[in-house]
Structures are given as C-alpha cells and as structure tokens.
Amino acid sequence: MSFYNDASLVFLPSGGAGKDGKAYSMKPVPEYGSELVTNGGFDTDSDWNLTSGGTDANISNGKANFVNAVKGQRIQQNFSFTAAKTYKVVFTVSNYTSGLLGFYMGGVYAVSNINANGTYTYLVTPTNNAEAFLRAMQTGVSHNFSVDDISVREVVVGDGDFTFSRGSNLTATRVDSNGLIEKGRENLLTQSNNFSDSDWTKATGNIVTGGQSGYDGSTDAWEIESPSNNYIFRRTNTQGGVQTLSIYVKKNTSYGIRLYAFGTDNANVYYDLNTGVVVARDSDVIDDSITDVGNDWWRITMTYNQTNTQLYFYVTDNSNTLVSGGTLVVQDAQLEQSLVATEYIESGATKGKAGILEHSPRFDYSGGASCPSLLLEPSRTNSFNYSEYFGGLTKLNATLETNNTTSPEGLQNASRFLSAENDTLSKYIDFQGSAPPSTENQVFSLFVKNYNHRYIQLINNGDADLYANFDIANGIIGNYGSGTTASIEDYGNGWYRCTIVCDGSQNNINSACRIYLVDSLTQGYANQTNVALGNGVYIWGAMQENNASYPTSYIPNHSGGSVTREADFCEGAGTSSTFNDAEGVLYAEIAALADDGTNKYISINNGGTDDYLFLRYRSDNRFQVRYRSNNTDSLNETFDLSNNLDFNKIAVSYKRNEFKIFVNGSQIGSTDTSGTIFNVSVDNLDFESFNGGSNFYGKVKQVIVFNTALSDVELTALTS
Amino acid sequence: MDITRKYEFVDEAEANEAIDLLRDEEGNLTESVVKLGYLTITPAQYDEEGNTIKEAVVSTKYAVDVSWSITPLQSWEAYIVWPTPMGIHNYGSSSQRDEYAKTYCELYPDSEYCNPPEITEE
C-alpha cells in the first residue's frame, strides 16, 4: 500500500508547511462548496443592505465602507446557509483607523474584535439558518474602515491543518536547512526607503529626490541635499539595548557621511566614501563597518548600546566637517537589535519582519538532519541581559574582542576570549543573570569554538559542585561537579554548545555564571591554571534558564534585561470526517526534548473526557498508549522506549476487538481482542492532552491518521 | 492581538491567587504568565572565589508579567504597573512590545521615554 495515499491526515514538517498561525497538513485536501455571496467584491452598489439607516456605511470604489459608523451598523446580505454545517468565511479589511469589526452568521459571531487591516479567514458553524452580516461592534466609538472581497462557502471536506501559536518572534530560533541558527528579525525603522515620508524628520531646507539609480539595480535610491550645516534626517527610536544602524550610501557632490545616535550615550561614526574607511568614531561605538557593494555604493553600519535615542544622518567632507549644499545618494536604511547588520528588510508604515515570525512553526534541522522536524518547546526565559554582546561584562586576566569571527548564525558576531596573562592565574568572563528560587535548577549554556585553546570550564559561581570541563576541539566532557550534569552538542564549523545543568536541591545556585580558560579536562572548580597569553576561544550565544532541567533552543537577547520565549502550541487538526470512529490508526514519529518528569501528550479527542486516544511520555518517563471509549479503557499499555530522546516510530491500530501497538517495527505486547470503539465521535488531533494542557514538548517528524485499521505487516512496514 | 501587561503583588501567595483565576477547569493556565519574582534592583557582587562581597538589593514587591490573549481581567487591574518600556523583562512578540510602548506613551505623554531629548550642539 502507499501509506500517504491511504491516509486521511498527513502532517510532514517541511519548508512550506507553516506560516503565521498555521502548521499545514498535506492531507486532507480541503474541498469547498459554491460561493454563497453575491457581489462580494462590492463592484456595484447592489445586493447588500446597509442597516441602521444606512447613513454610516456606503458601497463605493469597490468596497463596503464604514464611515463614522456607530455600534450596530450592519452590512448585510440574505444568502442561504444551513445550521450545523461549517462555512469558510474570508474578507479583507482596509483603510482601518478606528472601531471593532465583527462577522455574525446564524447565531454565532465568527469574530467581534477586528482592529487592523488584513485578510481574515474563519470557519463558522451556525446554530440557526437566519441572517449573516458584518457589524460595527464598539460602544461610543466611530467605526472607520472598509471591507472587500467577502466570500462564504460551505466546507465539504475540512483541512487537516493545525492552529499554531507561540507569541514570540525575536526570541525564537531554529537550525535552518544550512545548519545555521535562524532568528526572527525586524527593521525598527518604518518607511525604511521612503525618505520623503514624514517618519523621517528633515532639517529646514533639506531636499530629498527619489527615483535615483540604486545599489541593487533599481531606481529606488534618493538624492539628499543639506543646504545648511545641519542634519539631513532625524529618527526617534525609543527601543533600547544593542542595536545596529545601517544604510546604503554613495558619494555625489560630497563624499562623507556621519551617523550619530544621541541618547544615554553618544555614538558617532564618520565614513569616507572616497576611500571606504571609517575616519573617526566615539568610544561609545561597539562596532562599525563600511563595505563595498559595487558601483561606488557602500553599506555603512554603526553598532551601539543605549536607550532612548535620536538618530541623525549628516553630509560631511573628508575632514569630518559638515557640508552645506553637499549631496549624497542613499537607500535602504535599517535599524535592528543585533551586533551586526543583517540582510535588509523593507519597512512600510509598519516595521518589516523576516525570519522566525510570531506564531510561525519552527521546522528544525538540528544535528545535521536532512529532513526537518517540528520543534515544540515550553516557555523559557534567558536571564542574561545580553546573549551576544559581552563587552560590558566583568572579566579577569582576559581580553575580549567583539564581532571577531563567524558565529553559528553565519554572521561575524562571535567574540574572541583570550588569556591576558602568562602566569598561573584565573582567566574568566563573568555572566550576570538571576538566581533561581531555592531548590530549583539552573541551566547555563554557551556556544564555544577553539581558537587556539581547547579546554574550558563552565561554572555557577554559587557552589563548588557546580562546574564541568569541556574539550571544545573534540567535543568531550571532562570532570564535573557532583551537583552538575553536562552536555556538549556539535553545531558544525567547530562550534559546540556546552551546557551545565545545576542541581538546586543540594546546592546554592546564584546569579553569576562564568567561563574559565583551563589547561586540562580534570581541573577542579574555578582553579587557577596556566593558559598562555594570547590563547583562547571564541564564544557566542550565552543563555541562563532558571527553573529548568534541560537547555532549550537558543534565545537571543540584546535588550539589557531578561527575555522570554513563549511556549509553542499546536492543536486543532481535522474534523469529524478526518477520523473514523469504527477503526483507524494513529502513527507518529516523535522524540521528547528531555526525560524531565512531565506528561507530554499527542491525542485524538472530542474535547470531552470519555472518548479519546492518546500517546504520551509520562511523568515517570515511561511511554503510554491509551484508547478510551465511553469512559472505559479499550487499550491501556505502558512500556519503555529504548531512548525517549531518539526519534521513535509509534503506531496504534484500533478496531472493535482488535487493538495493537507497534514501535520501531515490532509489536508491543499482544493484540487486545476485547475492546470497544469510540462511543462519541472524535474530531480533533492535538499536541496536548485530550482535555487541554500537558503539551507535547518535543520534535515531530510526521503524524499520520488512517481511517482503516492496518495489518501487522503494514504496521511493521510503517514503523520500520 | 495579544498584549503584554506587568503587575506587582505583595508576595507570591497574592500573585498565585490572581494567577489561579487564569486556570481552566482542569487547572491549565489559559494565559501566558511569567513569574519574575522579587526583581533585583542592584545585583550582588562576588569575589573571585564566589563569596558575596555585597548582597543584591531586591524589590519588596513580587512581579508577574502576563501575555493576554483576552481582555485583561478587571481583578488584575489593581496590580498593574507601568515600568518604562518594557522594564527589565521583554515579553511577547515585537508587535506586543510596540503596543506596550504605544500605550505607555498614551498614559505618560510627558515622560522622557516618549520625548527623547534632541541634540543642541549643532
């Protein structure tokens, strides 16, 4: 048989299988009925009723417009639909300035609080056959927005997509298909290449002219002229922390530019566009660069760490003097929370975003995997104020060079940590975070690469039992303290993620963690060792997770405070037609993140507590399969997998008087010949318990649902 | 869109009472909550051996951040605080951070955060 052809639901993580708020399944392919709405494009002022007198809404310019509408204003059409059937509703909101929009259908509000432009999609199951309408929802507020392209169609076959949420973009990462760590990114400058926009404050008399030839072959560049000795642009930026400002620039009648971030500190850099060199900088600048991008264009960058800044751009000459009447050509400005400039992201009226987005599932290629897995993690906080910028940290007998080499992210934003003394002395960097509550654990992780030295030690500064030694040339763990467990993971290109988990039940854990340069794998806690002057390692990606027993994926932090990545939620796939109550198979290829004593479920359910099927890693770290019908067990088996952290292929086949479990090509126990099938239909597949909670935190390579029971031969093949 | 709000309680017990209002019938939290605890105002200082030279100074209030997917409960309003965006803990998506900053400036329009000083040298 072809398993994918015969399955009713197939979820396979891959590059195109997710977007903001969805994790897509390959099957079932949804089918929809004919369009129920007439004139959904509002091409003519017909077919729609504008109720509440119709004075607060109109149809014009191809849209339905709410204009200073009060609560209760409707735009309505009487099309035919049937209670208890499910309908897909899609419409687009534009020109939004105020109020809340709702959509009502047959006794149900699909939504009642739309407050932004966008295209919205909902599934609605009406409870009666009466009216449907768009409605202004907010008391005492004028509603002003337009609606277009409304469509309502019956769902004949529902999709098998999961609803996905996380609520974090900039703090979430994954390992991409190139083996590099990918972050969420954001251009903090709105109208990033629209210098005539009012978001760019211009000094009196300054002139900007668009339509110039750009560095990228476009005509999207801007000539700027400063007729006075003043700035050409100013931007207010209240976001704090480590930031990098960048802009593409080309000489014209002038050949110098100055970037100035004025705030809690003053970061200033002068660039010479003739020679391509930085000619002056302030000490408050962390880093700067000028990079030739061809045809006399340069990308210039300035990195600083401060809050509440005004950003200024000036035209200068080669003696760093402001030029009156000088001109330059500029394009594509970007401000980002980063130690280096990354690929340009266009911003319009809202900030441009790229990489890991809010509510986007993470398809992860960790460990050199050729096929990705869906990564589902709990919420975690990185308590270190900075995860990549270490310039402000206390260090002893050591030097630190920021942006010295290429990191596991593929950018030159890793630091070099070198011994500054030849004597037998401690050489360390001290990372300050926060202490966990009494008896709770702490995880300290750091990416480390051999520069010309192979041995390091990680410690928590609170107790002599909290340390481990690592050989980061060969990926080996050495001596470690009695209150510590250690791990080392290869991230490629010589980088290892070294981790210590500090046991808080017996030890005093404090807020400070350190990396030491040591001279062997057998060194004791924080010993003074002989590491020669100039020897050292590269470091990047520091992370401290409190109340945690294992490390999770890297959480970047440039904020100056702690940051939290929220938990992943993946739930709600399928409808009653996806699952067969009489017989079927649930198959999953999964790995747990840790044996951490928590329950981690995958379940088929109907939201109740009487009829469900689940797979779970139990709190005692055993594995359990349970099929329950009418609050009675038809199947309930608990067993041990060889390793919960490895990918295991697990299939459960159910049919009246025939229940069986196969794992990695073999049957577990014997076929149960006495059970009954679901009493109340199931309609939902969740990565959580049958009644919510106890989320599955792990990695998922595939999940498949069949609507028929499979033979032993088929189950063996499926799980092999 | 979810929104982030920040709260301070007398102690953890008072915070837990409020957090329990965010649980469903099975006891699962329905909103995302981070218990920050007693925030460090001034970090502790340690010597080379890890001995404390100077104890940390911590807040007397117990801090909790919530990422609300619903309209925040009225009962939590009494505990809300508005540190300068976003205080010492960044929580939620970048959109949530923008919303927090925008609301902060609506509440405190004259604050320095909302009116960054401009240079006077030129």
Give the integer Cα–Cα distance in Å for A267 and A304. Answer: 6
What strands, in cross-sheet order, belong to the sheet with A162-165? A18-19, A22-23, A162-165, A569-571
Split into its structural domains, chain A has a count of: 4
User: CB–CB of A353/A345 below 8 Å?
Assistant: yes
Same domain for A447 and A542: yes
Question: Of B2, B28, B65, which has the smallest distance from its Cβ to A693's Cβ?
Answer: B28
Same domain for A104 and A4: no
Task: Give the model confidence (pLDDT) of A136-187 as tens digits.
Answer: 998 888 999 999 999 999 998 888 999 999 988 999 999 999 999 999 999 9
How many CA atoms lie within 13 Å of A283's alpha carbon, on the beta-carbon side?
A: 1
Task: Concatenate the DSSP letters of all residues of B39-99 into one string.
Answer: EEEE--EE-TTS-EEEPPEEEEEEEEEEEESSSPPGGGGGGEE-PSTTTTEEES-HHHHHH
Which of these three, A548, A565, A582, is where a domain ends? A565
Same domain for A164 and A152: no
Task: Give the model confidence (pLDDT) of A347-374 as tens digits.
Answer: 999 999 999 998 899 999 999 999 999 9
In chain A, the residue whose alpha carbon lies closest to the alpha carbon of B4 is A167
Same domain for A307 and A346: yes
What values do phi and psi take at A293, rounded to 5?
-115, 10
What pLDDT is attached to residue A138?
Answer: 86
What values do phi and psi take at B78, rounded to 5?
-65, -20
Quick check: is A642 in a domain?
yes
The end-to-end CA distance of chain B, in Å, is 42
User: CB–CB of A166/A358 below 8 Å?
Assistant: yes
Domain, as residue range, for A551: 380-565
Task: Give the model confidence (pLDDT) of A191-216 as tens digits.
Answer: 999 999 999 998 888 889 999 999 99
The percent of residues above 70 in pLDDT, for chain A, comes to 99
Quick check: is A386 in a domain?
yes
CATH number at A717 reads 2.60.120.200
What pLDDT is attached to residue A446?
Answer: 98
Range A563-577 average pLDDT? 94
Residue A319: pLDDT over 70: yes
Same domain for A332 and A392: no
Quick check: is A477 in a domain?
yes
Task: Give the model confidence (pLDDT) of A584-611 as tens digits.
Answer: 999 999 999 999 999 999 999 999 999 9
What pLDDT is attached to residue A20?
Answer: 73
Tally A–B CB contacts below 8 A: 110
Which of A172-176, A479-483, B53-57 is least confident?
B53-57
Same domain for A425 and A496: yes
Question: Of A231, A310, A691, which has the smallest distance from its Cβ to B26's Cβ?
Answer: A691
Structure pTM? 0.90
Same domain for A656 and A555: no
In chain A, the residue whose alpha carbon lies closest to the alpha carbon of B51 is A462
Task: Give the model confidence (pLDDT) of A80-100 as tens digits.
Answer: 999 989 999 999 999 998 889
Quick check: is A188 in a domain?
no
Range A469-481 average pLDDT? 98
Task: Give the model confidence (pLDDT) of A227-264 as tens digits.
Answer: 777 888 889 888 889 999 999 999 999 999 999 999 88
Task: Chain A: give the shortest CA distance to residue B16, in Å.
Answer: 15
Task: Concatenate the DSSP letters of all residues of A211-270 into one string.
Answer: EE--TTSSS-EEEEEESSSS-SEEEEE---SEEEEEEEEEESS--EEEEEEESSSEEEEE
With a CB cutoff of 8 Å and minimum separation 6, the contacts of A670 are A660
Task: Chain A: give the shortest CA distance to residue B78, in Å.
Answer: 24
User: CB–CB of A681/A579 below 8 Å?
Assistant: yes
A693/B27 Cβ within 8 A: yes
Same domain for A392 and A340: no
What pLDDT is attached to residue A105?
Answer: 96
Quick check: is A80 in a domain?
yes
Question: Of B49, B116, B122, which has the smallest distance from its Cβ to A230's Cβ?
Answer: B122
What pLDDT is attached to residue A507?
Answer: 87
Quick check: is A191 in a domain?
no
Task: Give the model confidence (pLDDT) of A417-448 as tens digits.
Answer: 999 999 899 999 999 998 888 889 999 999 99
Task: Chain B: give the shortest CA distance to residue A383, in Å.
Answer: 9
Q: Rg (Cα) of chain B, in Å, rounded?
A: 18
With a CB cutoff of 8 Å and minimum separation 6, the contacts of A273 are A249, A250, A251, A255, A256, A257, A296, A298, A328
Q: B105 in helix, strand or coil?
A: helix
What mean pLDDT, rounded, does chain B reach? 89
At residue A494 the predicted structure's pLDDT band, cuts being 50, 70 and 90, is very high
CATH number at A295 reads 2.60.120
Cis peptide leading into residue A227 (ω within 30°): no
Report the DSSP beta bridge partners of residue A475: none
Same domain for A488 and A402: yes
Question: Of A168, A169, A561, which has the smallest distance from its Cβ to B89's Cβ?
Answer: A561
User: CB–CB of A654/A677 below 8 Å?
Assistant: yes
Beta-strand ranges (E) seen in A116-231 are: 118-124, 132-136, 143-157, 162-165, 173-175, 181-187, 207-212, 221-226
Task: Give the model confidence (pLDDT) of A271-318 as tens digits.
Answer: 999 999 999 999 899 999 999 999 999 999 999 998 878 999 999 987
Give the integer Cα–Cα distance in Å for A336 and A345. Answer: 10
What's the CA dihedral at A649, A654, A660, A661 to 10 degrees? 20
Quick check: is A196 in a domain?
no
Number of residues written out for chain B: 122
Residue B45: pLDDT over 90: no
What pLDDT is attached to residue B83?
Answer: 96
Task: Give the model confidence (pLDDT) of A14-33 as tens digits.
Answer: 766 777 788 999 999 989 99
What pLDDT is attached to residue B48?
Answer: 65
Give the integer Cα–Cα distance in Å for A11 and A699. Answer: 13
Q: Which two tokens stand for residue A269?
A: 């850099």
| Listed residue (A562, A444, A437, A457) closest to A508, CA to CA | A437
What values do phi and psi take at A457, rounded to 5?
-135, 135
Same domain for A326 and A243: yes
Q: Which long-range contacts (CB under 8 A, 24 or more apart) does A469-475 make?
A: A469/A518, A469/A520, A469/A521, A469/A522, A469/A523, A470/A496, A470/A498, A470/A521, A471/A521, A472/A448, A472/A496, A472/A498, A472/A537
Q: Is A61 left (phi over 0), alpha (psi -120 to 50) or beta?
A: left
Does B1 contact chain A (CB < 8 Å)? yes
Residue numbers in B near A567 (CB within 8 A): 32
User: CB–CB of A688/A601 below 8 Å?
Assistant: yes
Residue B121: pLDDT over 60: no
| Listed residue (A474, A363, A325, A437) closest to A22, CA to CA | A363
Quick check: is A192 in a domain?
no
Range A66-73 average pLDDT? 91
Same domain for A130 and A249: no
User: CB–CB of A480/A470 below 8 Å?
Assistant: no
The percent helix, strand, coil of chain A (3-state, each to 5) is: 0, 50, 50
Q: Which two tokens stand for residue A337?
A: 């929370």
Same domain for A166 and A18: yes
At residue A563 the predicted structure's pLDDT band, cuts being 50, 70 and 90, is very high
What mean pLDDT, rounded, does chain A reach? 93
Does B49 contact chain A (CB < 8 Å)? yes
Residue numbers in A near B101 (CB within 8 A): 238-239
